[in-house]
A and B are shown apart, each in its own frame.
Chain A
Amino acid sequence: MTEFMTTFALTFLSLRQFRSASASALLRRAGVALLSGLVVMLVTAPASAQLTGRQSEGSLSPIPIAIPEFVGDNPQLAIEISNVVANDLESSGLFKPLDRASFLEAVRDINAPPRMVDWRSIGADALTVGRVTRDASGRLSSEFRLWDVATGKQLAGQRFATAEANWRRVGHIIADQIYERLTGEKGYFDSRVVFVDETGPKEKRVKRLAIMDQDGANVRVLSKGSEIVLTPRFSPTRNEITFMSYTRDQPRVFLLNLETMQREVVGEFPGMTFAPRFSPDGQRVIFSMQSEGSSSLFEMDLRTRQTRRLTQTDAIDTGPSYSPDGKQIAFESDREGTQQLYLMNSDGSGARRLSYGEGRYSTPVWSPRGDYIAFTKQLSGRFLIGVMRPDGSGERVLTEGFHNEGPTWSPNGRVLMFFREGQGSNNGARIYSVDITGYNERVIPTPSFASDPAWSPLLN
Chain B
Amino acid sequence: MFDRFVVVACVAMLTAFLGACANKSADGGSASLLGGDGSAGFGKGRAMPGTAEDFKSGTRDLVYFSSDSSDLTPEAQQTLVEQARWLQQYPQHQIMVEGHADERGTREYNLALGARRAQTVRRFLAQQGVANARLRTISFGKERPVAVCDDISCWSQNRRAQTVLGGAAISSR
A binds B: yes
- Does B4 make an interface contact (CB < 8 A)? no
A254 to B138, CA, bound (A): 17
Assuming the contacts A205-B143, A293-B115, A293-B119, asked whether A316 and B172 have C-beta atoms less than 8 A apart, the reply is no
Instruction: Write the B147-173 contact mask toward A (1 if CB under 8 angstroms, else 0).
Output: 111100000000000000001100111
Please name all residues of chain A whose beta carbon is closer than 8 Å to the beta carbon of B168 when the two chains form the complex. Answer: 249
Q: CB within 8 A of A231: which of B107, B116, B140, B172?
A: B107
Contact B108 A318 (CB under 8 A): yes
Chain B residue numbers with a CB within 8 Å of A271 are: 115
In angstroms, Cα B148 to Cα A202, docked, is 7
Complex interface: chain A residues within 8 A of B104 (CB): 378, 381, 403
Given A272-B115, A318-B108, 10 additional A-B pairs, CB 8 A:
A201-B148, A203-B148, A204-B144, A226-B173, A230-B107, A272-B111, A290-B112, A294-B116, A362-B106, A378-B106
- A338 neighbours in B (Cβ, 8 Å): 68
What's the minimum C-beta distance from A246 to chain B, rounded to whole angstroms? 3
Set B139, B143, B146: member contacting A272, Cβ < 8 A? B139
Cβ < 8 Å to A, chain B residues 119-156: 119-120, 138-141, 143-150
Within 8 A of A (CB), among B78-135: 103-109, 111-113, 115-116, 119-120
Chain B residues whose CB sits within 8 angstroms of the CB of A2 once the complex forms: none
Bound: A225/B86 CA distance, A: 36
Which one, A203, A295, A406, A423, contacts B107 given CB within 8 A? A406
Residue A395 interfacial (CB < 8 Å): no
Does the CB pair B108–A249 fall under 8 Å? no
Task: Write out the residue numbers on chain B whose beta carbons fall within 8 Å of the beta carbon of A376.
Answer: 106
Q: Does B112 lie within 8 Å of A318, measured CB to CB?
A: yes
B116:A362 contact, CB within 8 angstroms = no
Given the interface pairs A251-B139, A362-B109, the reply to whether A316 lies near B149 with Cβ below 8 Å is no
Q: Does B57 contact A (CB under 8 A)?
A: no
- Chain A residues within an 8 Å CB radius of B68: 338
List chain B positions with a Cβ less than 8 A from chain A.
68, 70, 103-109, 111-113, 115-116, 119-120, 138-141, 143-150, 167-168, 171-173
The yes or no answer to A88 lying at the interface (CB within 8 A) is no
Asked if A425 meets B112 with Cβ closer than 8 Å, knowing A363-B106, A406-B107, the reply is no
Binary interface profile of A, 332-362, with partner B (CB < 8 Å = 1, else 0)? 1010001100000000000000000000001
In the complex where A202-B148, A203-B145, A249-B171 touch, is A452 in contact with B107 (Cβ < 8 A)? yes
Q: How far is the CA of A319 from the CA of B115 in the complex (A)?
A: 16
Residues of chain A touching chain B, judged by Cβ–Cβ distance below 8 Å, are 201-205, 207, 226-228, 230-231, 244, 246, 249-251, 271-272, 274-275, 288, 290, 292-295, 316, 318-319, 332, 334, 338-339, 362-363, 376, 378, 381, 403, 405-406, 421, 423-425, 427, 452
Q: Which residue of the partner chain, among B105, B107, B116, contacts A293 with CB atoms under 8 Å? A: B116
Q: Is the CB of A251 within 8 A of B107?
A: no
Q: Knowing A246-B172, A249-B172, A316-B113 touch, does A231 contact B108 (C-beta < 8 A)?
A: yes
Pairwise interchain contact B139-A425, C-beta atoms closer than 8 A: no
B146:A290 contact, CB within 8 angstroms: no
Looking at the complex, which one of B106, B115, B139, B144 makes contact with A405 (CB distance below 8 Å)?
Answer: B106
Asked whether A425 and B149 contact (CB < 8 A) given A226-B173, A293-B120, A295-B115, the answer is yes
Which residues of A lie under 8 Å from residue B150 when comparing CB positions?
Answer: 423-425, 427
What's the nearest-Cβ distance from chain A to residue B116, in Å? 4
Q: Helix, strand, loop or mixed for chain B's interface? A: loop
A319-B108 contact given A203-B146, A293-B116, CB 8 Å threshold: yes
Compute how far the CA of A452 lies from the CA of B141 in the bound complex, rounded to whole angstroms: 15
A-B CB contact pairs (8 Å), 24 listed: A202-B145, A203-B145, A203-B146, A205-B143, A207-B143, A230-B107, A231-B107, A249-B138, A249-B167, A249-B172, A251-B138, A251-B172, A271-B115, A275-B111, A288-B108, A290-B115, A293-B70, A293-B115, A293-B120, A295-B115, A316-B109, A318-B109, A338-B68, A427-B150
Interface centre among B112, B140, B171 (most CB of A within 10 A): B112
CB pair B107–A288 under 8 Å, yes or no, is: no
Instruction: Select the residue from B70, B105, B106, B146 with max chain A CB neighbours within 10 A.
Output: B106
Chain B, Cβ-Cβ closest to A226: B173
Chain B neighbourhood of A339, CB < 8 A: 106, 109
Question: A419 vs B15: C-alpha distance in the bound complex, in angstroms?
Answer: 48
- Shortest CB distance A423–B (Å): 5
A32 to chain B, nearest CB (A): 38
Q: Which has the most chain A C-beta neighbours within 10 Å: B103, B120, B173?
A: B173
Task: Please name the residue on chain B nearest to A334 by beta carbon.
Answer: B109
Q: Could you say which residues of chain A place their CB within 8 Å of the CB of B115?
A: 271-272, 290, 293, 295
**Cα A16 to Cα B5 with chains together (Å):** 98
Give Cα A378–Cα B103 distance, bound, in whole angstroms: 12
Q: State the CA gap A178–B173 with chains docked (Å).
A: 46
CB of A209, distance to nearest CB on chain B (Å): 14
Q: B103, B111, B146: which contacts A251 (Cβ < 8 A)?
A: B111
Q: What is the CB-to-nearest-CB distance from A30 to chain B, in angstroms, rounded to a whole number?
A: 37
CA of A228 to CA of B51, assembled, Å: 28
| Closest B residue to A377 using CB positions | B106
C-alpha spacing A421/B106, complex, angstroms = 12
Shortest C-beta distance, B45 to chain A (Å), equals 26
With a CB–CB cut-off of 8 A, which chain B residues contact A427? 150
Q: Which residues of B contact A316 (CB under 8 A)?
A: 109, 112-113, 116
**A194–B145 CA distance with the chains assembled, in angstroms:** 25
By the criterion CB–CB under 8 Å, are B112 and A288 in contact?
yes
Which chain A residues lie closer than 8 Å to B105 at the CB level?
378
Q: How far, in angstroms, from A339 to B141 measured CA to CA in the complex?
A: 16
Nearest CB in chain A to that of B70: its residue: A293
